[in-house]
Amino acid sequence: MAKRIEVSDLNIYYGNFRAVEGVNVSIEPRSITALIGPSGCGKSTFLRSINRMHEVIPGARVEGKVVMDGVDLYGADADPVDVRRQIGMVFQRPNPFPTMSIYDNVAAGMRLNNKRMKKADLDDLVERSLKGANLWNEVKDRLDRPGSGLSGGQQQRLCIARAIAVEPDVLLMDEPCSALDPISTLAIEDLMTQLKERFTIVIVTHNMQQAARVSESTGFFNLNGVGQPGRLIEFNPTEKIFSNPEQKATEDYISGRFG
């Protein structure tokens, strides 16, 4: 079930360093939201703060609110483990568990959530998730082989299958195609447009054509200089960002006249 995310006055810190400041944004359900911007501008940091993966790094913390369907994810009684079960994540580099088979990789999340599950149900879930990630036909004969034996693009789709197997509300993708060739990238983009029927998708990308191709809304992050915090400069429908952006900085960035 896709859910809406409201972010208000979000500041993100690494120790004393303020990496991102003053983010206010509303992320729509059943749509793809793209985050673009130069390296080091805090878009990945912002993405990781949505499912509280940010705080995995020692000293990292957050001020402000991230509210998903009325529940503050940083509220006093919010458990980061529960947050991450509702908000799945796909990383920049494909990271299937190398010690697990393809089958076990997909089943891993469900085994964490729900220890006792009938074998038939689990088989069903694995097949459904792999089909959902457009990977089933390629791996159905070798589900017991290690996931690390697949190609990069297949591994990334395996990671997507693993993330959607637990039926999250939101799917975060941190440059999911940056390590992939154009054909694998296309496969992932097609997959994203299918998945947005069921999930809220937020994707960080360096590829502006990708943002333009797949997303409904786009946010542009930028920073004034090294050591300064990153800020969300503009958040608008993708069409508007790429045809008639409100901010000069956005226009400069997307047209390549950066700096």
Binding site for another protein (CB under 8 A): 51, 53, 56, 58, 81-82, 84-85, 88-89, 91, 93, 95-101, 108-109, 112-113, 145-146, 148-149, 159, 162-163, 166
CB closer to another protein out of 201 and 212: 201
CB closer to another protein out of 93 and 240: 93
CB closer to another protein out of 52 and 231: 52
Beta-ladder partners of 65: 8
φ/ψ (deg, to 5) at 203: -125, 130
Query: Shortest approach of another protein to residue 89 CB, angstroms?
Result: 4
Run of H or E residues at 16: none
CB closer to another protein out of 53 and 191: 53
Supply 57's token pair.
């790094």
Query: Shortest approach of another protein to residue 203 CB, angstroms?
Result: 15
Write the CA distances from 256 to 19, 37, 224, 252, 253, integer angstroms.
Answer: 24, 11, 17, 6, 5
SS3 at position 211: helix
CB closer to another protein out of 10 and 163: 163
User: How far from chain centre, in Å, is Cα 63?
Assistant: 21
Query: Shortest approach of another protein to residue 18 CB, angstroms?
Result: 23
Query: Shortest approach of another protein to residue 167 CB, angstroms?
Result: 12
CB closer to another protein out of 172 and 254: 172
Order of all β-strands in the sheet with 5-14:
71-72, 60-68, 5-14, 17-27, 230-237, 217-223, 32-36, 200-204, 170-174, 87-90
Beta-ladder partners of 36: 220
CB closer to another protein out of 139 and 163: 163
Query: Shortest approach of another protein to residue 97 CB, angstroms?
Result: 6
Work out the angle at residue 225's Cα, subtended by the Cα atoms of residues 222 and 227, and round it to the nearest 5 degrees: 105
What is the number of H-type helices and E-type strands within the chain?
10, 10
Query: Shortest approach of another protein to residue 115 CB, angstroms?
Result: 11
**CB under 8 Å to 256, separation ≥6 — which residues?**
none
Q: What single letter denotes the amino acid at residue 212? A: A
Query: Shortest approach of another protein to residue 34 CB, angstroms?
Result: 20
Centre a 10 Å sphere on the Cβ of residue 77 and count the other Cβ atoms it contains: 7
